[in-house]
Structure 1
Amino acid sequence: MKVASCSIPDDTALARFRDSGKYTHAEAAESLIPDQEKVDARELARLAMDRPSLTPERAFWLVDLWIRVQALVFRPFGVKPNTMRSTRDQPLPKVGEHLGPYEVFEASEREVLLGDMDKMLEHRMSFIVDGGKAYIGVVLRTRNKAGEAYWNQFRHNQTQILHWSLRRGLSRALGDDDYAAEAH
């Protein structure tokens, strides 16, 4: 399954967020959906966000522990904790609820817009299905020097994470176990 970097699609909630103010980073990735396959953006988001990591299953307990430690360390700085746990399946996204650590702002067959805002960052991520393609995109705004420092720790892997997340979610949505295994 080929995934490539692209522009954030116009006429999307993510593009409106990007265009609503100054941003630090914006990027997207796309992949063709095979002919005759129907993919819903809500299911794509759910499957991509269901344990969205490169962590082998046998080490999930360690990741769960690390997530709890992160919550304790970063809470004083206003960073919201990640609510994901290895024992919880992610639900279909619904507006006003959470998918993983992110609030759901929009949820339709075409687009799911997730994000959060804390003292350091304002972040939006979108899963889009349109015109025979699936997309994932992200827009990030740093809010202060601490946010810039935090972003600088992760920015080098952002493109790889987007590509991997789209490949994994789309493979799982299409029921392609070979691609899903490669993506994990």
Structure 2
Amino acid sequence: MPTFTATVQTHIKASPAQAFGFIAPIDPTTLFTGYGPLPAVTGTRDQTGPWDAPGQTRTVAMSDGSSVQEGLKHYRPAQYFAYTVSGFTGALRWLATGADGAWWFDPEANGTQTTVRWRHAFHARSKWAAPVLWLLASVLWRGYMRKALRLAKARIEMAPRTPAAALSA
């Protein structure tokens, strides 16, 4: 079955360690606030760890009452993390069998800035679902991703840059 991918990126005025340290462990309710008909994240449950090692899992609850399962596949601090999404319980269960996501944090300007790139790939459930899933990934999901990345960028760039904050990021 086909896979449909959406990718977004931005430049953040922070080091890769600071950007990664903010985005990777973030409470998803603060970034994923909904977009058009796509629901907001309302919480997580059954998380198996602090979201910092491959193999950890969690259930993500959505504002429409649906949920998904996430599993962390790769985790390289200040560089990259990747995850899988499965077990859709909402309308997406009719369109996709799962999805893969990945975030990259590439240094710029001698490490004082970062290009953050986020890719999300949906796997179509059937050839009949593929056209609708393509539209969802290409238009709606990409908009959802852009909104979340804008929120992350704004929060990271507004965060204090004290030495103690830099060490904990």
Q: TM-score, normalised by structure 2?
A: 0.57
1:157 to 120, 140, 147: 140
Q: Deviations over 1:99-156 (max 9, x none)?
A: 5441100111211101134574231111211132111111122132575377367333
- How many angstroms apart in 2 are the aligned matches of 1:31 and 1:48? 20
In the alignment of these two chains, the number of paired residues is: 129
More helix by share: 1
Taking a change above 3 Å as real, the CA distance of residues 97 and 167 of structure 1, as seen in their structure-2 partners, is same
**Higher strand fraction (1 or 2):** 2
54, 75, 79: which one pairs with 1:107?
A: 75
Unaligned runs of 5+ residues in structure 1 are 1-21, 65-82, 178-184
What are the within-5 Å matches in structure 2 for residues 3-152 of structure 1? Answer: 23-34=2-13, 38-41=17-20, 43-47=22-26, 49-51=28-30, 52-54=32-34, 84=44, 91-98=50-57, 100=60, 101-109=69-77, 110-118=79-87, 120-131=96-107, 132-145=114-127, 147-148=129-130, 151=133
Matched residues in 2 for 1:145 and 1:103: separation? 26
Of the structure 1 ranges 114-123 and 23-32, higher mean CA displacement relative to structure 2 is found in: 114-123
Q: Which runs of 5+ in 2 are unaligned?
A: 61-68, 88-92, 108-113, 161-169
Partner AA of 1:166 in structure 2: L
CA distance in 1, matches of 2:13, 2:23: 14
Residue matched to 1:172? 155
TM-score by length of structure 1 reads 0.53
